[in-house]
Chains A and B, each alone.
Chain A
Amino acid sequence: MTIHNLYIFSKNGTLLYYTEWSRLNKSGITKEEEAKLMYGMLFSIKSFVSKISPLDPNEGFLYFKTSKYTLHYFETPSGLKFVLNTDNISQNARELLQQLYREVYLEYVVKNPLCQLNEPIQSELFKLKVDELFKKSPLYLSRTI
């Protein structure tokens, strides 16, 4: 099981945070461009899902799966978006994202008066804690094992 990378977007589409652990394929465009493409795709998926859904959606889009990876999506009511790419056999990645929001984002960004909301996160402590959370998760197993 592998975790590839993580994106955090604000409600208006700014890339707040990006980090990667194991990524073999570079998209060939700059990080900023890639973030815009990713946000655009998520935005379209959200509207696609709300239109094609046969019943009233509650949480809406949860994840999508391709032949090589799964993209997990978690959005808070305030519009903050967490996106995690893992391999296809990883389970419960959504709980991990909720945990990331509850235990790391709220604690080390919202409660830090020096962190501006809706701007890219610069805090070193936050970076450290994110890394810690993912590395202790059972989903994180390096490819070499």
Chain B
Amino acid sequence: MVIYGVYIVSKSGGLIFNHDHNVPRIESERTFNYPLDIKLSYENKKIVVCFGQKDGINVGHVLTAVNGSLVTGRDLENGKDVFELLEQPESFPLSLKFSRARMTTNEKIFLASMFYPLFAIASQLSPEPRCSGIEILEADTFRLHCYQTLTGIKFIVVAEPTQNGIEILLKKIYELYADYALKNPFYSLEMPIRCELFETNLQTLLENVEKSGAGSV
């Protein structure tokens, strides 16, 4: 039973709150000899694996370190270019560390505003009249639950597909939002939520649900 994250999207589609709960870190380090048996490419200012997945290194993973030295963009800490280094046989064997790309805050904002039209189109393309937007979206690794309040705010929880009782959890989060965010005199509507009480209460709620199911809340 794992809850991966909670997002709150405002009426106008902006991300006003996000909380990563239990996101697993997927990392693997391996020693490589010349020539490399995986294909790397440079995309979106990251070096990603584009072909040849093995030993826990999957397509889409990002190169984070070479011989313990961190990679930023395509450069090492000492300013050398990674691709140049990988082309020189004398620099091998090399220990490369890969990890699954973590979402940056910017990407989260981007994804939240991307969910907004998906939600709207899903209700427009409905074969039945008077249909709501997406309530549950399932992929093989997670299930996303969305609850839209009457005022248009969307509460989104990303959890394991087997986690149940999320509907109750969503309503509870709404309750917390109403109590600790809306009643906070320093909080202005449609703006990011920065209320300590809200965050600590949410944290305990999520832990309770994970430990003993939604029945306990």
Q: Which positions in A face B, CB cutoff 8 Å?
A: 4-5, 20, 22-25, 27, 34, 37-38, 40-41, 44-45, 48-69, 71, 85, 87
Contact = CB atoms under 8 A, between A and B. Distances in A.
B124 interface: yes
17 contacts: A20-B127, A25-B129, A27-B124, A34-B125, A37-B124, A37-B125, A45-B137, A51-B103, A54-B141, A59-B139, A59-B140, A61-B137, A66-B123, A67-B131, A67-B135, A69-B126, A87-B128
B142 A64 contact: no
Contacts of B135: 64-67
Contacts of A40: 121
Tell me whether chain A's interface is mostly helix, strand or loop, or mixed: mixed
Given A50-B60, A66-B134, A58 B118 contact: no
Q: Of B58, B122, B130, B141, which is in contact with the most chain A CB atoms at under 10 Å from its CB?
A: B141
A65 B136 contact: yes
Interface residues of B, number: 40
Contacts of A56: 26, 58, 60-61, 100, 141
A44 B141 contact: no
Interface in B128-167: 128-142, 144, 158
Interface stretch (B72-80, B87-95, B107-115): B107-115
Interface of B: 4-5, 23-24, 26, 58, 60-61, 100, 103, 107, 111, 114-115, 117-118, 121-142, 144, 158
Contact of A54 (B61, B115, B117, B158): B158
Most buried by A among B26, B107, B139: B139
Given A44-B117, A48-B114, A48-B118, 6 more contacts: A37-B125, A48-B115, A56-B60, A60-B139, A62-B140, A66-B123
A20 B103 CA distance: 39
Nearest to B156: A52
A88 to B, nearest CB: 9
Contacts of B121: 37, 40-41
A49 B131 contact: no
A9 to B, nearest CB: 14
